[in-house]
Amino acid sequence: MEKNDTIDVLNPPKSVFGVTLKDAEEYGDKLNERTAHGFINEPDRDIEKETLWDFMASKLSEDDESEIAETMRSLEGEFR
C-alpha cells in the first residue's frame, strides 16, 4: 500500500498487516467459544446466600479431612 492510500471498509484489501477481515471474525468466534467453554465452571452455590467462606467451611468426608490434616502436619518442622 502507498502511504496515502485509504482503506475502503466495505471492501477491505485482502490483507492489511497480514490479517484479513475474515481472520479477525474467525478469531472473534474462537474467542467467544473459548470464553464459553474454556474457563472454569460457574459456581454451583447460590452466591447471594452462601459466601465463599461458607462454601469452604462445608463439611468434607472424614477421609478428606484426615488427608488435609495429615498433609499439613507433614509441613511442620520444615521451612523454618
Partner 1 sequence: MSLTLSQYPKYVPLTPIERYGKYYKFESYVRQVVEYLHLNVDGIECRKDVIFDIIERVEMRRVYFRVFHGIIMSEQNEISHYCFWILKLAPLVNKNNPNQHINARLAVFLFLKMLKQVGRVRKQHVSFNNRFVRNLMYAFVYRDLSKEAIMAIADALLTGAAGGTSSSTVP
- Where along the sequence are the contacts to partner 1 (CB under 8 A)? 35, 39-45, 47, 51-58, 60-61, 64, 67-72, 74-75, 78-80
What minimum distance in Å lies between the beta carbon of 4 and partner 1? 27
Q: How far apart (Å, rounded) are the C-alpha atoms in residues 7 and 21? A: 12
Name the residue nearer to partner 1 (CB basis): 1 or 36. Answer: 36
CB atoms within 10 A of CB 53: 7
Concatenate the DSSP letters of all residues of 5-39 into one string: ----TTS--S-BTTB-HHHHHHHHHHHHHHHHHSS
Name the residue nearer to partner 1 (CB basis): 19 or 69. Answer: 69
Query: Contact 61/52 with Cβ under 8 angstroms?
Result: no
What minimum distance in Å lies between the beta carbon of 77 and partner 1? 11
What minimum distance in Å lies between the beta carbon of 21 and partner 1? 15
Name the residue nearer to partner 1 (CB basis): 6 or 35. Answer: 35
